């Protein structure tokens, strides 16, 4: 297995043996490369900045849903270290081609495509792909490189170097609807001059575990656990939209710019309504975003005329572009989601961004037309579009808004912080910024007690987990005692569960250290102050986890 080092300035690709004595994949590999080869103080969009692509530890194997791909770099939104992972088939394919990771350095002015195949990798001119939105860009890339290629690309928002831009990855149906969305890594990729990575794995090989039989047994145990997992069936049947009702019910569905935790019109955007619309328009449930998935929570959502619109209308999108904007129209939300996928814009950040415009008198809750017009402004690259495309913190600054729903410059996700207090500790303290996937805490939501401990444990587990390439929803079913045997059998190791958790702790320590060197001190590990004073109806919860508990997160 080797690491591809792509020098955009020289337009060269070098293959290096992966570092010995290290077990590196996904988030752990992102961190390793950024720390070993990067400089925390450089500008995220400078030529000295790095852009990383890293399949997980279990990528390329038959382990269930092990194909999450980590994308990494220094975040234009947070100014700190950033890993965002995404589905699609790219991770498996890279791994099957013997590639542990890709590190992109330098920059060039003429847009390039990195073409990877069994024979090796080359940079080629991007040509007329540049300027296209993501769906047409992928169509054109397939015309050029064949139907079977997988594509990792930055969209128009990235080309504009907007801080809220994503890296899109094609799903098993070739649609660029899966995004390493958070933290602005699309701009980091674009700043290198790299428009897309195209992967053709013809001739690639499934990775052979060092202990084949043990791996089979371990993988089966995980498969069984997932199949019988508590949320698996619901996710398969409904998708993540199922959380609209539950979050709304417990007062944790961000509504009207985080002024409310429940949405009066939630029944227009919940799973029941969603299902009705999917069925009425010939959409479908039970799609996997990556090969080997046995949860398959993706859904195909068509428009009123039955035409495909999007295949990844997730809970977070519905919360942030729906209830948080007072919008109860699933068709409109799906249209905006598609537009975000086309441009390469994170829906969580955008929902926060448009939401705060209400404070500036520039947005009325429920105004679909206005919300869509703001997406148009981003697409057109107007000054207003550039403000909005730079994320919620910049938008707040431009309009002098002081009630900012963000931590370290990253917008707060759709499990409302004040009424999801354990999760909120993660938002406040994760080196990744306010990220709901960095360590969810789904118990005792309204209690201030014990949330520091819960968040700490969850963040450690997620850090390790994000290195494996396993989907988050595996985590809901399969604890680390089932995961570690797969890693051991694949790599021929003898990790205990403690070793695995120590690995997670190291990841967090490294990330915190990177951020510190980048100028982000522990004082930044705070929810916005207003969340400590302003009650969130209907629970009227405030964030009241004791400061010492929040500060205790890195006591390990």
Contact region for a copy of itself (CB under 8 A) — 142-150, 390-398, 472-480, 548-556? 390-398
Work out the end-to-end distance of the chain between its first and last CA atoms, rounded to an integer number of angstroms: 33
Instruction: Scan for tokens 């060039």, then name that residue.
Output: 108
* 396 vs 19: CA distance, rounded Å: 43
Interaction between residue 417 and a copy of itself (CB under 8 A)? no
Chosen residue from 197, 518, 531, 550 binding a copy of itself by CB under 8 A: 518
Q: How far is the CB of 163 from a copy of itself (least distance, A)?
A: 6
Chosen residue from 1, 42, 108, 448 binding a copy of itself by CB under 8 A: 42
Q: How many CB atoms lie within 10 A of CB 496?
A: 11
Interaction between residue 519 and a copy of itself (CB under 8 A)? yes
* 218 vs 450: CA distance, rounded Å: 33
**Residues 6+ positions from 313 with CB-CB distance below 8 Å:** 239, 241, 274, 299, 301, 330, 333, 334, 337
Q: Which is nearer to a copy of itself, 140 or 509 (CB)?
A: 509
Q: Which is nearer to a copy of itself, 313 or 345 (CB)?
A: 345
Q: Which is nearer to a copy of itself, 71 or 404 (CB)?
A: 404
**Which residue in 65, 102, 70 sits closest to 84, CA to CA?**
70
Site for a copy of itself in 345-384 (CB under 8 A): 382-384
Contact pattern from residue 152 through residue 191 relative to a copy of itself, giving x for each residue in contact according to CB under 8 A and a dash for the rest: --------xxxx-----------------------x---x
**Which residue in 361, 443, 347, 426 sits closest to 391, CA to CA?**
347
Contact pattern from residue 72 through residue 111 relative to a copy of itself, giving x for each residue in contact according to CB under 8 A and a dash for the rest: ----x-----------------------------------
β-bridge pairing 308-310 and 410-411:
unpaired
Q: How far is the CB of 27 from a copy of itself (least distance, A)?
A: 21
Phi, psi of 169 (to 5 degrees): -130, 140
What separation in angstroms does the CA of 248 have from each of 267, 316, 402?
A: 10, 13, 26
Site for a copy of itself in 487-516 (CB under 8 A): 515-516
Chosen residue from 19, 62, 291, 522 binding a copy of itself by CB under 8 A: 522
Chosen residue from 124, 234, 517, 551 binding a copy of itself by CB under 8 A: 517
Which secondary structure element, helix H or strand E, spans residue 316, and what is its range?
A: helix 315-317
- Give yes or no for a contact between 38 and 49, defined as CB atoms under 8 angstroms apart: yes
Chosen residue from 35, 231, 398, 479 binding a copy of itself by CB under 8 A: 398
Q: Which is nearer to a copy of itself, 322 or 528 (CB)?
A: 528
Q: How far is the CB of 382 from a copy of itself (least distance, A)?
A: 7
Helices 330-343 and 134-145: crossing angle in degrees, nearest 10, is 50
Chosen residue from 121, 180, 238, 387 binding a copy of itself by CB under 8 A: 387
Chosen residue from 20, 305, 521, 548 binding a copy of itself by CB under 8 A: 521
Reduced to 3 states (helix: H, G, I; strand: E, B; else coil), residue 541 is: strand
Instruction: Scan for tokens 């500060």, then name that residue.
Output: 551
Give me 134's structure tokens. Answer: 């993501």
* 520 vs 79: CA distance, rounded Å: 8
Contact region for a copy of itself (CB under 8 A) — 8-16, 38-46, 418-426, 449-457? 38-46
Q: How many CB atoms lie within 10 A of CB 543?
A: 26
Q: Which is nearer to a copy of itself, 114 or 160 (CB)?
A: 160
* 321 vs 333: CA distance, rounded Å: 6
* 385 vs 367: CA distance, rounded Å: 18
Q: Which is nearer to a copy of itself, 252 or 390 (CB)?
A: 390
Q: How far is the CB of 501 from a copy of itself (least distance, A)?
A: 27
Q: How far is the CB of 170 from a copy of itself (least distance, A)?
A: 25
Q: How far is the CB of 513 from a copy of itself (least distance, A)?
A: 10
Instruction: Scan for tokens 């994170």, then name that residue.
Output: 346
Q: How far is the CB of 162 from a copy of itself (least distance, A)?
A: 7
Q: Which is nearer to a copy of itself, 276 or 402 (CB)?
A: 402
Interaction between residue 402 and a copy of itself (CB under 8 A)? yes
Helices 330-343 and 271-280: crossing angle in degrees, nearest 10, is 80
Q: Where are the alpha helices (DSSP H) in 50-177?
A: 90-96, 134-145, 156-159
- Give yes or no for a contact between 226 and 63, defined as CB atoms under 8 angstroms apart: no
Chosen residue from 11, 140, 370, 403 binding a copy of itself by CB under 8 A: 403
Q: How far is the CB of 70 from a copy of itself (least distance, A)?
A: 23
- The string of DSSP codes covering 420-446 is SHHHHHHHHH-TT-S-TTSS---SSTT
Chosen residue from 25, 26, 38, 40 binding a copy of itself by CB under 8 A: 40
Contact region for a copy of itself (CB under 8 A) — 19-27, 121-129, 140-148, 522-530? 522-530
* 294 vs 274: CA distance, rounded Å: 22
Chosen residue from 143, 305, 523, 548 binding a copy of itself by CB under 8 A: 523
Interaction between residue 319 and a copy of itself (CB under 8 A)? no
HSE-CB at 109 with a 13 A cutoff on CA atoms is 0
Q: Which is nearer to a copy of itself, 11 or 403 (CB)?
A: 403
Q: Which is nearer to a copy of itself, 57 or 410 (CB)?
A: 410
Interaction between residue 397 and a copy of itself (CB under 8 A)? yes
Chosen residue from 84, 189, 524, 550 binding a copy of itself by CB under 8 A: 524
Q: Bridge-partner residues for 359, per DSSP?
A: none
Q: Does a cis peptide bond (omega within 30 degrees of 0) precede residue 357?
A: no
Query: For binding to a copy of itself (CB under 8 A), which residues are involved?
Result: 39-46, 48-49, 76, 160-163, 187, 191, 382-384, 386-387, 390, 394, 397-404, 408, 515-526, 528-530
């Amino acid at each position: 297995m080797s690491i591809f080092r792509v020098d955009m300035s020289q337009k060269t690709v070098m293959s290096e043996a992966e570092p010995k004595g290290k077990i590196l994949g996904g988030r752990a590999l992102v961190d390793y490369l950024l720390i070993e080869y990067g400089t925390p103080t450089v500008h995220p969009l400078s030529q000295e900045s790095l852009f990383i692509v890293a399949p997980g530890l279990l990528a390329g194997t038959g382990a269930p849903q092990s194909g999450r791909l980590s994308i990494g770099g220094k975040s234009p939104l947070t100014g700190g270290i950033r890993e965002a992972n995404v589905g699609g088939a790219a991770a498996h394919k890279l791994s099957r081609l013997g590639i542990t990771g890709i590190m992109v350095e330098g920059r060039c002015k003429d847009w390039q495509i990195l073409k990877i195949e069994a024979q090796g990798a080359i940079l080629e001119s991007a040509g007329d792909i540049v300027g296209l939105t993501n769906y047409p860009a992928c169509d054109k890339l397939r015309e050029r490189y064949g139907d079977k290629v997988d594509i990792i690309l930055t969209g128009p928002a990235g080309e504009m170097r907007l801080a809220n831009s994503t890296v899109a990855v094609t799903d098993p149906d070739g649609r660029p609807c899966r995004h390493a969305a958070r933290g602005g890594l699309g701009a980091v990729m674009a700043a290198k001059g790299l428009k897309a990575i195209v992967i053709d794995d013809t001739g690639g090989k499934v990775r052979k575990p060092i202990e084949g039989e043990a791996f089979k047994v371990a993988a089966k145990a995980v498969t069984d656990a997932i199949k019988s997992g508590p949320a698996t069936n619901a996710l398969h049947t409904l998708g993540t939209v199922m959380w609209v009702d539950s979050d709304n019910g417990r007062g944790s569905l961000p509504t009207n710019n985080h002024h409310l935790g429940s949405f009066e019109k939630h029944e227009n955007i919940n799973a029941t309504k969603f299902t009705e619309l999917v069925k009425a328009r010939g959409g479908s449930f039970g799609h996997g975003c990556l090969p080997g998935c046995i949860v398959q929570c993706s859904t195909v959502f068509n428009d009123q005329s039955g035409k495909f619109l999007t295949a990844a209308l997730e809970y977070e999108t519905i919360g942030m572009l729906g209830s948080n904007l007072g919008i109860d129209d699933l068709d409109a939300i799906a249209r905006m989601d598609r537009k975000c996928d086309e441009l390469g814009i994170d829906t969580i950040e955008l929902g926060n961004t448009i939401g705060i415009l209400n404070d500036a008198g520039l947005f009325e809750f429920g105004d679909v037309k206005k919300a869509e017009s703001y997406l148009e402004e981003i697409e057109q690259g107007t000054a207003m579009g550039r403000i909005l495309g730079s994320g919620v913190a910049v938008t707040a600054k431009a309009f002098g808004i002081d009630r900012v729903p963000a931590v370290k410059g990253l917008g707060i996700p759709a499990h409302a912080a004040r009424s999801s207090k354990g999760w909120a500790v993660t938002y406040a303290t994760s080196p990744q910024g306010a990220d709901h996937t960095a360590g969810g805490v789904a118990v005792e939501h309204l209690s201030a007690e014990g949330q520091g401990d819960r968040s700490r444990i969850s963040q450690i587990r997620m850090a390790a987990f994000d290195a494996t390439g396993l989907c988050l929803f595996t985590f809901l079913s399969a604890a680390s005692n089932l995961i570690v045997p797969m890693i051991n059998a694949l790599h021929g190791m003898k990790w205990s569960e403690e070793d695995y958790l120590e690995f997670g702790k190291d990841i967090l320590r490294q990330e915190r250290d990177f951020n510190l060197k980048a100028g982000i001190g522990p004082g930044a590990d705070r929810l916005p102050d207003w969340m400590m004073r302003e009650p969130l109806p209907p629970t009227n919860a405030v964030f009241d986890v004791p400061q010492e508990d929040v500060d205790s997160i890195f006591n390990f």
